[in-house]
Amino acid sequence: MTVFHFFNCAILTFGPHAVYYSATPLSEYDTLWTSIRAAVVYLVTALVKLVCLATFLNVSDSDTFDPYQELLKALFGFIDVAGLYFALTQLTHRNISQNHKFQAVGLGWAFADSVLHRLAPLWVGARGLEFTWDYIFQGLEANANLVFSISLAALGSLMWLRKNKPKTLIPIIYACAGIVATMPSITSYLRRGLGWHLPKVVGFELFSSLLIAFISWQLFVACQRPSN
């Protein structure tokens, strides 16, 4: 019954994206096209990032955590932010509000990420005879990643699209965005530098994603208040 297991893992990995789209007003405003374009931008960004990584990074044979290499990786992580900036500002959207725009972009972004990074291993691995918890954890990771992407998109829209925001909040917004953008490096450090196991890392990711989501939600609300 391994196809069954594959099906389960696929639901866990890709289900939340679909649920998010259909449950929120995104579906009512027909923002699917925006999401798709964000996904395309993600693909291009991933390609650029990959080329950069391949050019500047040594292939390390050891599993150790190399601070210099990780720093480079974190720097390249900001290519993602650039891609997101492009998706949020340069893509001409139809008449949709900023609220829906960042959600649509974040959703498309996360979905493309999941398809790219998780579909192939899932297809290859989860159908095998051997049972491991890995693919279930991987699905949970995809959930955390969805929350991260939407949070980052929300923070991005605050940074680049909203003009009149409270001055005191600006550093907080930038700090949060910085943390979210370096999240892959942080988890990589936990996994390799501290030797955490997968369940612990995924637990941390889930927890921090909820925390970041809460903070960015509060920031968003706080920024909306003066305009009202």
Q: Does 57 bind other proteins (CB under 8 A)?
A: no
* Least CB distance to other proteins at residue 204 (A): 15
Q: Does 4 bind other proteins (CB under 8 A)?
A: yes
Q: Does 155 bind other proteins (CB under 8 A)?
A: no
Q: Which residues within the stretch 175-204 sit at the binding site for other proteins (CB under 8 A)?
A: 191-192, 197-199
**With contact defined as beta carbons under 8 Å apart, do 173 and 98 qualify?**
no
- Rg over alpha carbons for the chain, rounded to the nearest Å, is 18
Q: Which of 36, 98, 125, 185 binds other proteins (CB under 8 A)?
A: 125
The terminus-to-terminus CA distance of the chain in angstroms comes to 55
* Helix %, strand %, coil % of the chain (to 5): 80, 0, 20
Q: Does 120 bind other proteins (CB under 8 A)?
A: yes
Q: Which residues within the stretch 15-54 sit at the binding site for other proteins (CB under 8 A)?
A: 15-16, 19-20, 22-25, 43, 46-47, 50-51, 54
Indicate the SS3 state at residue 78: helix
Indicate the SS3 state at residue 213: helix
Q: Give, in order, the Cα–Cα distances in Å from 17 to each of 9, 14, 23, 144.
A: 14, 6, 10, 11
- Contact residues for other proteins (CB under 8 A)? 1, 4-5, 7-8, 11-12, 15-16, 19-20, 22-25, 43, 46-47, 50-51, 54, 63, 116-118, 120-121, 124-125, 128-134, 136, 138, 191-192, 197-199
